[in-house]
Structure 1
Amino acid sequence: MKNAIETGPHTVTKRFPEGDRDRCEREWRALTLLAAHAPGLAPEPLELDAGAARPLIVMSRLPGVPLRGRPLDARQVAALATAVRQVHAAVPPNVLADVPERPGRPAELAAWIRTRAVPHVRPRVSGEVAGAVDAGLAWLDGADLDADAAPAFGPGDGNLANYLWDGTRVRVVDFEESGRSDRAFELAEITEHAAAWVEHPLEVAAFLGHCDLTAAEGVRLCACRRLLAFVWLLMLAADGAPGARNPPGTAERQAGRLAALLG
């Protein structure tokens, strides 16, 4: 069961699947923190009913159109980077220390790749996709994904549909997978999400050029981009049946993207 979204003139009501309190509470925590420390960047939290059969949140409705599915000009790319930087830095360190880690951190994704995704996908693929899976596994065996990284608040979803452009600035929605993270991993979530390249490719170099990464963050970003590109390859390869959500050949395109990142 998916979320149910009810949109009014000034509010949005999000109903989560039955019993799904975790995602509801993560989103409420994020909205509350951002309202306190970066007001206007995300919806204002108005009402929480985590104990309902279908937990729900009522929040303010933000103006703007999603960045996904449209070519972005230089001003929009810069505004996206500004919003992302603001989210990452919004929660003060002493407060962030008490925020739980977000789901889907690198070690968790690596375990998912090895124990679940590859055994399911590898026997079903061939050619360029199979070669990229094998190359990804060889890289993963020697990858350092546990390097120390400065904590940052992570929205947890890199889909450009969650970034709304109002003609002047970008605001952020959807914090179901949010929590304590680090900048490099969260930036990789955006650059490697299918939304950043399947339709109108994001100018990744321009976007990252606005993010002022340290040398250590640059190294970690490279590893995180490879990891998430590998995750997306496995998901897209598994999505290759008739009626799949993405155009034919998307997995092959992703295989090429992963090979370029590994190269």
Structure 2
Amino acid sequence: MTVGRCTHNLDIRDDVVVKRYTSWGRGEPHREWAALTLLAEYAPGLAPTPVEAALDANPPMIVMSRLPGDVLRGQHTTSEQTTAMAAALNQLHQIPARVVEAVEPAPWGPAAAVDKTRAWAGKQPDLGDDPRVREAFRAGVAWLTSAAPDELTVNPLSPVLGLADGNRANYLWNERDRRVRLIDWEDSGRSDRAFELGEVCEHISRLDGVLDAEQLLTHFDLPPAEAERVRDFRRLIALGWFLQLGPDGPATPHNPPGTLEQQAERILHLLG
């Protein structure tokens, strides 16, 4: 869950993109290069192809192929595009578990999300006086103090390679071949499929345009236990954004007026 952080500059050329990092304290260039290299072998065509890198330069730099298309953030995601998003994620999640096991864990994952969301709730953020917002806060805190979030920190299923970022700006739709491809791998790593799906469904970018999360989830073969984990990760991630949307919250400047109230309704729906 990243709010207002820009870690790179892009030089977009005819056939390649040059990415120069402005911050790299969490190993972003190494993470991205490792992911692109792995994807080129196990899921070719799903992400940019790595061309060259200077990972230990100052600043670090990666050159990758330029993919055609437009980002889905800010758009009304059509049924066809939603199906294509799911196809891209299913292709990503089919990389063999034995391969993924060797990948470093993503820095943003279940344990970090639980800890951060509980920390925000513990700060008693100023969310204003709207009665529905207050109701959503009470319901959210009650859920956060239950055992359910702790159960999310242990993954009983095989790991997947994940973007660890549900921002729809990372989903590139190509009108020509009717496919979605995935970009921006600097936060990627070994992850939990249920967490990754929760991220896509509940990232705050869903309010910039339209994404039908329920329709998206119909395209995944989720056993009942994993479907329940997806539901709880959706609750957790939605709460994390909600708690940062108060008048002085870090997510507020990046979202239009009324976002807090919309997110409150989302919380009450997900916890209902």
What's the TM-score once normalised by structure 2's chain length?
Answer: 0.89
1:169-191 deviations in Å (ceiling 9; x for gaps): 11110111111112111011111
Map of 1:149 onto structure 2: 157
Counterpart pick for 1:250 among 232, 235, 259: 259
**Deviation at residue 93 of structure 1 after TM alignment:** 1.7
Distance 1:119 1:87 in 2: 36
Q: 1:230 to 1:39 in 2, by over 3 A?
A: same
Distance 1:19 1:185 in 2: 24
Map of 1:210 onto structure 2: 219
Map of 2:204 onto structure 1: 194
RMSD (Å), alpha carbons: 2.0
Map of 1:42 onto structure 2: 47
Secondary structure of 2:253's aligned partner: coil
**Deviation at residue 44 of structure 1 after TM alignment:** 0.5
* Count of paired positions: 260
Q: Kindly indicate whether residue 240 of structure 2 is the aligned counterpart of residue 231 of structure 1.
A: yes
1:66–1:163 contact (8 Å) kept in structure 2:
yes
2:10–2:20 contact (8 Å) kept in structure 1:
yes
Letter in 2 for 1:177: D
Letter in 2 for 1:220: R
Distance 1:212 1:154 in 2: 17
1:156–1:176 contact (8 Å) kept in structure 2:
no
2:109–2:164 contact (8 Å) kept in structure 1:
no
Instruction: Mark the runs of 5 or more structure 1 residues left unpaired by the alignment.
Output: none
Distance 2:174 2:49 in 1: 17
Letter in 2 for 1:86: Q
Letter in 2 for 1:118: A
Distance 1:39 1:183 in 2: 20
Taking every aligned residue pair, what percent have the same amino acid on both sides?
44
Counterpart pick for 1:7 among 9, 12, 29: 12
Map of 1:60 onto structure 2: 65
What's the TM-score once normalised by structure 1's chain length?
Answer: 0.92
Distance 1:203 1:258 in 2: 16
Map of 2:121 onto structure 1: 118
Secondary structure of 2:165's aligned partner: coil
1:26–1:176 contact (8 Å) kept in structure 2:
yes
1:26-50 deviations in Å (ceiling 9; x for gaps): 1111101000111111001111112
Instruction: Mark the runs of 5 or more structure 2 residues left unpaired by the alignment.
Output: 1-5
Of 251-260 and 134-143, the range deviating more from structure 2: 134-143
Ranges of 4+ aligned residues in structure 1 off by more than 6 Å: none
